[in-house]
Amino acid sequence: MGTHNAQTTIYNTIRYAFENGIWFIKCVGDICHPLGPTLNALVEQAITHPESKNFVIDLTEAKIIDSTCLGLLTRLATRSNVGKVKPIIITGGGNIAKSMLTVRFDLLFKLVDSLDNTPQSTQAAPCLTMEQNEMLQLLLDAHRRLCAIDSETHNMFKDVVAAFEAL
């Protein structure tokens, strides 16, 4: 008689909470371009909400986050509300933290390994999709935002931008 080991299934999700003017966005699993429309809509909601004061992005349960989703997150740091405090990214350390430094997110965000006082309850962001042309534009815009961080990221992503522009 064999034994059965239960495996935990990791769902690729984006969850959020809004408390006291702070948006808390939690990314779980593989945060890649198929989740781009969902993440983009949530970022848009957060930056346009009249009571938004700051943003906390929790990547402690993210296995990976691709350049498209990173580019979408830059919108939180480059919003037009000048004088606001830097948004916070909870990296959990490890490879995610290294990735944040590689794409120079330390210039845009306050990077921390952990943070106390995160919301106990979050809700799932509605899973959205886009038509192919809209998705290509989203990918292009996200990578243009990464290029705009500094000269290092420009050099990293300029070929990706050129490839999308050629489509």
User: Does any domain span residue 28?
Assistant: yes
CB 55 within 8 A of CB 76: yes
Domain count across the chain: 1
User: Does any domain span residue 1?
Assistant: no
User: Does any domain span residue 116?
Assistant: yes
How far apart are alpha carbons 103 and 3 in whole angstroms?
A: 45
- Work out the mean pLDDT of the chain and round it to a whole number: 91
User: Does any domain span residue 161?
Assistant: no
Write down the pTM of the prediction: 0.91
Q: Which CATH number covers residue 101?
A: 3.30.750.24
Task: Please determine, for residue 9, whether its predicted confidence score (pLDDT) is greater than 70.
Answer: no
Task: Please determine, for residue 7, whether its predicted confidence score (pLDDT) is greater than 50.
Answer: no
Q: What are the tens digits of pLDDT across the range 55-80?
A: 999 999 999 999 999 999 999 998 75
Report pLDDT for 38.
Answer: 97
Q: For residue 113, what are the domain limits?
A: 13-129
User: Does any domain span residue 137?
Assistant: no
User: Does any domain span residue 134?
Assistant: no
Lowest average pLDDT, out of 10-14, 43-47, 56-60, goes to 10-14
User: Does any domain span residue 163?
Assistant: no
27-36: average pLDDT: 96
- DSSP calls for the chain: -------PPPP-EEEEEEETTEEEEEEEEEE-GGGHHHHHHHHHHHHH-TT--EEEEEEEEEEEE-HHHHHHHHHHHS-S-TTPPPPEEE--SHHHHHHHHHTTGGGTSEEES--SS--S--EEPPP----HHHHHHHHHHHHHHHHTT-HHHHHHHHHHHHHHHH-
Q: What are the tens digits of pLDDT across the range 143-162?
A: 999 999 999 999 999 999 99
Report pLDDT for 85.
Answer: 83
User: Does any domain span residue 155?
Assistant: no
